Amino acid sequence: MSWEKAETVHRRFSLASWVVTAGICCAGTASAQERQTTQPSAAQQESPPLREIGGRLVSSGETVVVKGELDEPPRASSIATKVETPLLETPRSVTIIDRQTLDDMSAINITQGHDYSVGITPQDERGPAFARGFPVDFYDLRRDGLRTYSWSVREPVALDRIQYLRGPASVLYGDGSPGALINLVLNKPMPVRRIDISGSAGSPGLGRLSADATGPLNANRSVRYRLIASGEWLENGFDNGERRFTIFPSLAVDVGSRSTLTFDTEIYRQRGRNYRHTVPATEDAQRGDFTGYPWDFSVAAPEDGWSGGNVSPGVRLDMGLGRQTSLHIAGRYTRIDGDLDLQALIGLSPDGGTALRYHYREISTWDEYQSDAFATTTARTGSIEHKLVGGIEAGVSTTDSQIGFGPAAPLDIDNPEYGPPPSAPELAPTRFNVTRVGFYATDQMRLWRNVTVVPGLRWSHIDVDDKVAATRTGATESASTKSLVSPSIGVVVLPRAWFSLYSSYTQGFEPPVPGQYLENGLAPALSENWSIEAGAKADLMGPRLSVTGAGFRIRRTNVPEPDARGFYRQIGEGESHGLELEAIGALTPGLTTRAGYAWTRTEITRDTLGATGRELPNAPRHKANLWVRYRFARYAVRGLMVAAGVVHESDRFTNRDNAITAPAYTRFDASSSWPLPSRRLTLGVVAENLTNLRYVRSGAGGVLFAGPPRRLAVMMTSSF
């Protein structure tokens, strides 16, 4: 489903965007007109374009020659430093799931990317996860480096790549999980006309259509567009008959020779019968035996349902201010709405034949206003070279929720009769705003040829205004404010050009997350964390293979833990330490691998309810992943791609009392694609959970969150 080699010359276009897109677009070749475009001058070749800034792809005023290389592992990223930096010289652990890998997997949600990122363990199919022992919630997802809260399945169709920055990221990105930050990098408009249309169908009840159109709108390609859309339906008991639709229009306008203004909007809607698939945490289930419970059984009645989605417009200005300095301004507004009216699982009756249920009702709206403006420059003080970044980040999050619980009739799991809907429960409001502002600065100081020190500092002000608490106390409002300083320091030593040693210390913090509430309706307290990380990186075999090894230790206060009803309780303090190893790249021409292993040990170090000494919830001791792809380059099967993957997670406790265990599992995946001789049509097949294993991702209360059953699909893609 890709070009083995694409070559085109274009003006004012991101090198990174075209490299990745050329690598993953469905089979096709550049037209003769595109191949014959005038070659750039030597001066232009010597002035490389900006490729990635602040976790997003940007445009360039330079003319560049671009060649796609399918087997080349990612070499640089801006997610850890705000300016594009070689991963070998980045004092943090970073994983990048590129578009090629997402296409090979035929990914329908970003959770499939989590599976093949070292140490990232999905919570369920909607996008949240766990990293280094701590939850990475919906609020820890970023879109092009900007905060974007979302509580539903994240559609990957418009993504160029997914970036995982492990450890706290507060210095550059403000509050967030100490485990990791996940950044969704969006595709950008291209200067060459192209249309890709794809369709897939399979079991259980899967259907999907997508389209991607891009190109210039004027003769000199200074105005470019892109329109991406997809629709999906999942007619099966596990996915509860979900429907998903997304449309993503974007426009890039060059303003002068070195500045680009970009607009984009995502409109995403979905609905289904139940929110997520759960199974009871019986003794058999905790041993990995799920035969006593119907796997696709839905506790929600046919008339139950939920709907939700988001609208997320954004604007970015990337401006060159001379050869050494640039300014980058970005803003995004996200509105999310959710309407849930369904019956959910509590557990099983003692005889194991009856599902005990409750009625859940929620009407919620979230609004997120987020902005980030920063400048970058390079300078020298004597023999020391500096790469300076300074910026201001500000935003407001508003939450308006009404949530109610009520009784629901038990249900025979073998012969369900759903009966009339239960009475509407009384709804309790939860409303609060989080206002944040932060000033940050970092400096990549190259002290000697092979030693770089990266200090960073952030001052943050957080204001949490709980509207409901204000009415309960009789005051006009109930607000808490806090100002704090978050430092970081990193050191990178390169004994050889292909080998580096690094270490870092980082402090972070988290205010209450919109959508997380204590049982009394109040927001959880702000938590603080710190992390120490050290490791080694190497570019091997030519260098076709990138290898990273890391060790870490993290401590976090006021750790929130979800219960089965969706509320949160706070553990006093938790910590984790562990080791991670990852290898990405080509073993031989055509044969690529993505392998990872993580060992994590967690402990609750302080807890008022007696959980001290136990392990943190949903943190597996071992996680391993392997994805291998081979593309034939000769003979009658030239272009044929075959890939296979395996993911293993050890057992883990789902609650802080460590009384319930989610059992270990090992899942196998496979895929294949073949461009037909016309090079305009590609056929493919994908098998997720090849052996149809019954397994669970995580759990809360007395229920476990199930992983998807086997999904077999045939795909057809056309490019023109």
- How far is residue 133's CA from residue 121's CA, in Å, rounded to a whole number? 9
**Residues 513-553 pLDDT 10s:** 655 667 666 667 778 999 999 999 999 988 889 999 999 99
**Residues 86-106 pLDDT 10s:** 999 999 999 999 999 999 999
Domain membership of residue 404 (yes or no) is no
Count of domains for the chain: 1
- Provide mean pLDDT across the span 557-572: 72
**Residues 692-703 pLDDT 10s:** 999 999 998 889
**Angle at the Cα of 645 (from 655 to 109), degrees rounded to 5?**
60
CA dihedral 332, 333, 339, 343 (to 10 degrees): 30
Q: Are 444 and 386 in contact (CB under 8 A)?
A: yes
Q: Which of 204, 373, 169 is nearest to 295 (CA)?
A: 204
Phi-psi group of 613: left, alpha or beta (phi > 0 → left; psi -120 to 50 → alpha; rest → beta): left
Domain membership of residue 311 (yes or no) is yes
Per-residue pLDDT band for 558 (boundaries 50, 70, 90) equals confident
Question: In what helix (H) or strand (E) does residue 99 lie, and over which residues does it extend?
Answer: helix 99-105
**Angle at the Cα of 486 (from 485 to 487), degrees rounded to 5?**
115
- How far is residue 65's CA from residue 8's CA, in Å, rounded to a whole number? 6
* Structure token digits, residue 589: 């021409």
Domain membership of residue 406 (yes or no) is no
Domain membership of residue 629 (yes or no) is yes
Q: Which residue has the tokens 């205004």?
A: 465
pLDDT for position 237: 77
Q: Which residue has the tokens 């997120």?
A: 368
Domain that holds residue 532: 7-398+411-719
* Structure token digits, residue 481: 């404010």
Domain membership of residue 2 (yes or no) is no
The residue ranges of DSSP E strands in 382-427, in sequence order, are 384-407, 411-412
Query: Per residue, what are the HEC states of 620-671?
Result: CCEEEEEEEEEECCCHHHCCCEEEEEEEEECCEECCCCCCCEECCEEEEEEE
**Residues 588-600 pLDDT 10s:** 989 999 999 999 9
Domain membership of residue 232 (yes or no) is yes
Percent of the chain predicted with pLDDT > 90? 66
- Provide mean pLDDT across the span 608-619: 89
CA distances from 309 to 269, 429, 691 (A): 4, 21, 33
Q: Which residue has the tokens 């087997």?
A: 71
Domain membership of residue 403 (yes or no) is no
- Give me the amino acid identity at 186: L
Pairing of strands 325-348, 696-700: unpaired
Among 67-81, 333-347, 392-406, 636-650, the least confident range:
67-81
pTM: 0.89
Question: In what helix (H) or strand (E) does residue 159 lie, and over which residues does it extend?
Answer: strand 159-166
Domain membership of residue 578 (yes or no) is yes
Output the domain CATH number for residue 107.
Answer: 2.40.170.20
**Residues 211-222 pLDDT 10s:** 999 999 999 899
Q: How far apart are the first and last CA of the chain?
A: 13
Alpha helical stretches, state H, 414-527: 467-473
- How far is residue 281's CA from residue 278's CA, in Å, rounded to a whole number? 9
- Give me the amino acid identity at 178: P
CB neighbourhood size of 219 (10 A): 7
Which residues have CB under 8 Å from 383's CB, separation 6+?
Answer: none
**Residues 444-484 pLDDT 10s:** 999 988 999 999 999 999 988 877 765 654 444 456 788 99
